[in-house]
Structure 1
Amino acid sequence: MEYNFSDKVVLVTGASSGIGEATALLFAKFGAQLALVGRNEKNLNAVADQCMKELGVRVLPIIADLGTDEGCEKVAKMTLEHYGRLDVLVNNAGIGSKYDLIETNSMEMLDRVFSVNVRGVYNLTRLVVPALVKSNGNIVNISSVVGKMVNVGMLTYSMSKVSSTTHLKDRLK
């Protein structure tokens, strides 16, 4: 099945590698206009260039830390000012912590992981919801299987990836 997103604006966080990069390339293949967010400028620009050169779509790369209010505000503002709309938000950005045991982990690590993986998702979504409501848009939250199973050494990350599914359209009726 072939999809057409040529009249859609898609915002993908964590787009500089992994699942976010693959998501960006797939939306580009379907013609979406993209706002791509990442912390690694070199990688993010490479993904943006690939989307533009190979697939011919408009791309707005945004370097930002979604673990901060300023980062979330920058992403929302730049995306909406550049495109004037938003149709899909893909909350993919996340960070982990290795060798994370409750006996040895610091509260700073817990705060950092939750600031990106939970607070950042909530904050960015909050900032762009008016645009998504206006376009009858969609939100895709990328979680992880480790949010549903025990994984020794990944306590903080696992806790931050416990998810529930909600549908924006159902909540706004």
Structure 2
Amino acid sequence: MELGLKGKVAIITGSSKGIGLYTALQLVKEGASVTICARGKEKLEEAAEFIKNETGKEVLTVSADITNEQECKKIIQETIEHYGKLDILVNNAGTSSANPFESVDTELWQTDLDLKVFGAIHTSKAAIPYMREVGGGAIVNVTAVLGKTPPASSLPTTVSRAAGMALTKAMSKDLGKDNIRVNTVCIGLIRSDQLEKKWKEDASQLSWEEYSKDVVGPSIPLGRIGETAEAANVITFLVSDAASYVTGTAVNIDGGSGGTL
């Protein structure tokens, strides 16, 4: 299938590792020009080197704090100055913060909302005028499947992720007239630094494959933890021309573990 990504320009936030990094890698492989951004300059350079080693192509790196509106604007501006246009934005920056309601103080609420909700808002708002200039674009907001069915002691993450889903739907309604599509992917258990740390703490005698299938797998219909590249592949599809009639949709990437569609 031809994805129609050759010549497109994309920004992926939170892309020095994990899903963001592998999404950047996949987009570069498909012929897109990519900006990767995160707070840590050293990690960004390592990510850029990884992509270059895998593809032979260079990406633009922008060190920025997504919780700061001016730095969100800086990401967009540096991309425009370097590539001349913008077609795709993946709002991936975020961390997991899961606590009982009464233990979450005001500062943590604000930090989480600034990163996961306002970061996406500010970056999208700065990107949209440039997408209009090229006749349309695609935005993917990365959220979490638990935002649909929050369990106990899952705050503030599940609230921020639920807000991200509502933001996605509302944006898709407003921006459809401009041919700007907005979707969200709801992440379940996907291989990450946090999961690998838990594996090494709880079951270091097992291989990753054994831990994925035998320890965690029984709780997931597909029987294993998802791989980072599998999430990246879905995001790549959603920002591509192959998904040209898909907008306002939340796609679970969770191996079937979620309790809702």
| TM-score normalized by the length of structure 2 | 0.62
Matches of 1:144 and 1:91, distance apart in 2: 13
Change in Cα spacing, 1:10 to 1:119, as seen in structure 2 (3 Å) is same
Alignment partner of 1:132 is 2:131: yes
Matches of 2:2 and 2:45, distance apart in 1: 27
Q: Which residue of 1 aligns with 2:198?
A: none
Q: What is the number of residues matched between the two proteins?
A: 172
Conservation of the 8 A alpha-carbon contact between 1:28 and 1:34: yes
Q: Which residue of 1 aligns with 2:110?
A: 111
Q: Which residue of 2 aligns with 1:50?
A: 50
Q: Which residue of 2 aligns with 1:101?
A: 100
Structure 2 unaligned residues grouped into runs of 5+: 180-261
Q: Which residue of 2 aligns with 1:120?
A: 119
Report the CA distance between 1:118 and its aligned residue.
Answer: 0.4
Q: Which residue of 2 aligns with 1:82?
A: 82
Matches of 1:85 and 1:61, distance apart in 2: 16
Matches of 2:146 and 2:155, distance apart in 1: 9
Q: Which moved more, 1:76-85 or 1:36-45?
A: 36-45
Report the CA distance between 1:66 and its aligned residue.
Answer: 0.3
Equivalent position amino acid for 1:140 in 2: V
Q: Secondary structure at the match of 2:159?
A: helix
Conservation of the 8 A alpha-carbon contact between 2:12 and 2:90: yes
Report the CA distance between 1:81 and its aligned residue.
Answer: 1.2
Q: Secondary structure at the match of 1:120?
A: helix
Q: Which residue of 1 aligns with 2:176?
A: 170
Matches of 1:24 and 1:43, distance apart in 2: 14
Provide, for residues 53-77 of structure 1, a one-character-per-residue CA deviation record: whole Å limited to 9, x for no partner.
Answer: 3213331111111011122121111
Provide, for residues 55-108 of structure 1, a one-character-per-residue CA deviation record: whole Å limited to 9, x for no partner.
Answer: 13331111111011122121111111111100100111112324x222111100
Q: Which residue of 2 aligns with 1:37?
A: 37
Report the CA distance between 1:171 and its aligned residue.
Answer: 4.3
Provide, for residues 104-148 of structure 1, a one-character-per-residue CA deviation record: whole Å limited to 9, x for no partner.
Answer: 111000000000100110011001100111121111111111111
Equivalent position amino acid for 1:116 in 2: L
Give identity over the alignment, percent.
32
Q: Which residue of 1 aligns with 2:71?
A: 71
Conservation of the 8 A alpha-carbon contact between 1:5 and 1:32: yes
| TM-score normalized by the length of structure 1 | 0.91
Q: Which residue of 1 aligns with 2:207?
A: none
Equivalent position amino acid for 2:123 in 1: L
Matches of 2:103 and 2:54, distance apart in 1: 46
Matches of 1:43 and 1:2, distance apart in 2: 32
